[in-house]
């Protein structure tokens, strides 16, 4: 990492974030490190209980818009596994014709997904996005769960002089105390600098040094950022920093072009633009997840913590509607699941061992997916559709 930054010099934060998440050797998403569940860094709705996937599977069948299901960023493969199992058990005619396509850039995650999906792996084809576009357009459903938030974001600050973008560079700091603080030592370890290289000489003496990331405010790297602020954050105040998810928006435009007709269903945490970029969020929504702890320093645990920012659902909805898509639903995950009949899956169960009884576990999962203050409220669902012209 040190060598890369020395070669690149000062880079926009979006470049740092992309590298920290997707570097082929030590990026967070490309590593084999456990990410989801108790032993990982966070939970996702599919990891809570199969009931989430069962509801989505029933909705996909109800949409009746084709037999192709495309999932981008399938994580460990739990959503695909449980949806395919639901198709097989409850919708055999659909299952007999379904083509389940997974777009996954990480070879490590592809292997993990195959293992997780198990008996239904033969019903799945893994493709790159380029291969997917080459075979399109399709008729069916595009499905994502916590994908758009994983795209790297630009960070933009309004100053008295105008808009500026957050850039990052790696700096060397000499430590006059002679010892590295534990948090500095951790950063040096993360940088990949060999122990023997942690001293610099000069004038016949050696001093300890530490590496740290330094932010600076520079002119915008692309005029698209100014256009984004004009459209989605016109009320930014001086000193406020926001995230602009241009990469996620570009992906959404590409995804829309994949279907000649069908639906695109996006599940993620985020807000509409006026709420997302409200002046009360002075520092934006960028954060990390490390061992189920929310962190506010993106430069710690590099390659070992997830970095994410809330999604601008106004931007996604506008992109779809501008391309001729209809917005069928936008609201909280709780509202979507309730409208989809998740409460009908509750059972009147009691057990002396409530933590192992499957019916009681399912009841608890349903509550966690829809109750205010948790996943049900913070996560949003956007469903857009288009019919063949």
299-350 pLDDT tens trace: 887 867 889 999 999 999 999 999 999 999 999 999 998 898 888 877 766 5
Within a domain: residue 95? Answer: yes
Q: Number of structural domains, the chain?
A: 1
Q: Is the pTM of this model over 0.75?
A: yes
CA 180 – CA 77 distance, rounded (Å): 41
Query: Does some domain include residue 377?
Result: yes
Range of the domain at 70: 32-151+245-271+325-386
The answer for residues whose C-beta is within 8 angstroms of residue 288's C-beta and 6 or more apart is 294, 295, 296, 297, 298, 300, 301, 305, 306, 307, 308
When pLDDT is averaged across residues 68-95 and rounded to a whole number, the result is 93
SS3 217: strand
Note whether 243 and 155 are within 8 A (CB).
Answer: yes
Decide if 167 is inside a domain. no
For residue 276, being part of any structural domain is answered with no
The tens digit of pLDDT for each residue in 137-155 reads 999 999 999 999 999 999 9
Q: Confirm whether 96 is domain-assigned.
A: yes
Q: What is the CATH number of the domain that holds 263?
A: 3.40.50.12710
180 within domain boundaries: no
Judge whether 134 lies within some domain: yes
Q: Is residue 160 part of a domain?
A: no
8 burial type by CB count under 10 A (0-12 exposed, 13-18 middle, 19+ buried): middle
Q: Is 159 left (phi over 0), alpha (psi -120 to 50) or beta?
A: beta
Is the pLDDT at 193 greater than 50? The verdict is no
């Amino acid at each position: 990492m040190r060598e890369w930054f020395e070669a690149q010099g000062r880079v926009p934060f979006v470049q740092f974030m992309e590298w920290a998440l997707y570097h082929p050797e030590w990026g967070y998403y490309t590593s084999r490190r456990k990410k989801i569940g108790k032993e990982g860094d966070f939970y996702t709705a599919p990891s809570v209980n199969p009931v989430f996937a069962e509801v989505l599977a029933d909705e996909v069948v109800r949409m009746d818009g084709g037999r192709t299901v495309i999932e981008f960023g399938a994580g460990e493969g739990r959503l695909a596994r449980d949806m395919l199992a639901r198709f097989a058990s409850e919708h055999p005619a659909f299952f007999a014709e379904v083509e389940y396509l997974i777009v996954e850039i990480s070879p490590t995650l592809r292997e993990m997904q195959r293992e997780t999906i198990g008996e239904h792996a033969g019903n799945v084809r893994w493709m790159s996005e380029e291969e997917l576009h080459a075979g399109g357009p399709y008729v069916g459903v595009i499905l994502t769960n916590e994908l758009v938030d994983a795209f790297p974001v630009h960070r933009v600050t309004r100053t008295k002089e105008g808009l500026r973008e957050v850039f990052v560079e790696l700096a060397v700091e000499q430590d006059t105390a002679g010892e590295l603080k534990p948090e500095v030592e951790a950063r040096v370890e993360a940088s990949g600098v060999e122990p023997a290289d942690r001293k610099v000489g000069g004038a016949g003496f050696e001093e300890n040094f530490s590496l740290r990331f330094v932010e600076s405010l520079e002119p915008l790297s692309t005029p698209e950022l100014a256009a984004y602020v004009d459209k989605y954050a016109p009320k930014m105040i001086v000193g406020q920093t926001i995230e602009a998810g241009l990469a996620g928006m570009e992906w959404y435009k590409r995804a829309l072009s994949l279907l000649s007709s069908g639906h695109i269903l996006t599940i993620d945490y985020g807000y509409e633009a006026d709420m997302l970029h409200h002046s009360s969020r002075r520092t934006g929504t960028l954060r990390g997840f490390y061992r189920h702890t929310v962190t506010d320093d993106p430069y710690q645990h590099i390659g070992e913590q997830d970095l994410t920012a809330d999604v601008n659902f106004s931007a996604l909805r506008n992109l779809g509607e501008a391309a001729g898509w209809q917005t069928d639903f936008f609201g909280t995950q709780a509202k979507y699941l309730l409208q989809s009949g998740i409460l009908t899956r509750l059972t009147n169960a009691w057990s002396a061992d409530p933590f192992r009884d499957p019916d009681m576990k399912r009841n608890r999962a349903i509550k966690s997916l829809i109750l205010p203050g948790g996943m049900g409220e913070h996560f949003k669902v956007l469903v857009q559709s288009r019919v063949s012209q």
